[in-house]
Structure 1
Amino acid sequence: MSEQLALFDKVRAEPEGLRYAADFVSPAIERELIQCIRTLPLQPFQFGQFEGKRRVASFGFRYDYDQRQLKRAEPIPAWLAEIVTSVETFGGPGTRIQQVLCTEYGIGVGIGWHRDKPHFDRIFGLSLGAACKFRFRRPARKSWERFTLDAEPRSLYTMSGPSRLTWEHSIPAVEAPRYSITFRTMGYEPDLGAPA
């Protein structure tokens, strides 16, 4: 009976709308993607007056923290076309990736608690390089309900529904270099003009 309760608690703990697929890409494709990310003009993540330690490059759209709105970015590069198609297939009918964020995490770099901006809909994340602890939390009375996903290299996670809208997520400082490619959908495509 206690084993059944423990199993029930484990099932309940996972945020609704969170999906995970191990070995989404092969080791060879992982190496190619990491090499392509390394050649990008990565810039420290900017949020208002603050600068994060992780380095990023946005495609399709980017969020401007000063103006608090989406801006059009450079088009999604051709070397990402095949993986974007794979992610859209994984997402199911009607999935259309419109924004991609490539991120480099150096040793000792993580990301604090947050939810992705409401301009975006579903979130897909491809983990490359080192594994990480992908942590979730949401308020539970005077405390927090928590869940940790072990995001292994080459795995893909998806956040939709409550896992996307009511749970916050974070990544503690990584112990080895890590890269990620975040793919986002939107409910609509804003008319923003040319890239800024």
Structure 2
Amino acid sequence: MDEAELFPRERTEVAPGAVHVPHWLDPREQRELVEACRVWARPPAGLRTVRTPGGGTMTARQVCLGLHWYPYAYARTAVDGDGAPVKPFPAWLGELGRRAVTDALGPQPTPADYDIALINFYDGDARMGMHRDADEKSDAPVVSLSLGDTCVFRFGNPETRTKPYTDVELRSGDLFVFGGPSRLAYHGVPRVHPGTAPPDLGLTGRLNITLRVGGL
């Protein structure tokens, strides 16, 4: 917790099956994940700009592990990038995902076997429109880890991109998990606050690591 913080941030159920756990990653874990992301971002199949079917581009850049996501499907190669085989999904990242779900939602009858990571990099001007993570065949919870700059994370409902939704402040080290009735809820990032990353993290911007089970 920031020493200047008047009220400690607590674990919060934002919607049924959607839980925010502040300070979940300690500073060492955050630094290790940032260094791993730097390696994953290198070519081949590295960090790229995502182009939408309508000809637009996403302002957050992305790199994938396990399977390569492109609008709106998965492939084993970076089909909308350099065409190289996607980087493997490391076992330790799957273990981190399972621990995240247990800490956020409690013990699961059948622990999820995470096999896909989408890593988005946001600079100060990047945004993410309201969308659903609906390209997987598994209904296992999505695990979201935040590193670097603070953002406004808008978490909505499964029916519409508009209200009702809740804006949640995600800081470096925060965990957000959504599953169950909230697995297909619309969500997005309307704002990033530049310059709010922990100084010792060595990161300018925001990294968001989302872990998923493809079931593909």
For the aligned pair, the TM-score class normalised by the smaller chain equals 0.7 to 0.9
* C-alpha distance in 1 between matches for 2:89 and 2:94: 10
2:189 counterpart (147, 171, 175): 171
What is the Cα deviation at residue 82 of structure 1? 2.7
Question: Distance between the aligned counterparts of 2:114 and 2:209, measured in 1?
Answer: 12
Q: CA 1:149 to 1:175, structure 2 compared with 1: closer, same or farther past 3 Å?
A: closer
Alignment of 1:172-191 (within 5 A): 172-176=190-194, 177-186=205-214, 188=215, 190=216
Say yes or no: does 1:152 pair with 2:164. no
Alpha-carbon distance in structure 2 between the residues aligned to 1:32 and 1:89:
17
After TM superposition, the score normalised by the length of structure 1 is 0.76
Change (3 A) 1:35 1:72: same
Instruction: Name the Cα RMSD after superposition.
Output: 2.5
Q: How many pairs align?
A: 170
Find the counterpart in structure 2 of residue 45 from structure 1: 50
**Normalized against structure 2, the TM-score is what?**
0.69
1:131 paired residue number: 150
Is the helix fraction higher in 1 or 2?
1
Tell me if structure 1 keeps the 8 A contact 2:89–2:115. no
Matched, 1:114 2:124: no
* Match in the other structure for 1:8: none
Segments of structure 1 that go 5 or more residues without pairing to the other structure are 1-12, 191-196
Identity, in percent, stands at 24
Correspondent of 1:59 among 65, 70, 77: 65
Which structure is larger by alpha-carbon Rg, 1 or 2? 1
SS of 1:42's equivalent in the other structure is: coil
Q: Per chain length, whose mean CA-contact separation is higher, i.e. which structure has more relative contact order (CA < 8 Å, sep 6+)?
A: 1
Matched, 1:86 2:96: yes
Q: Distance in 1 between matches of 2:30 and 2:166?
A: 27
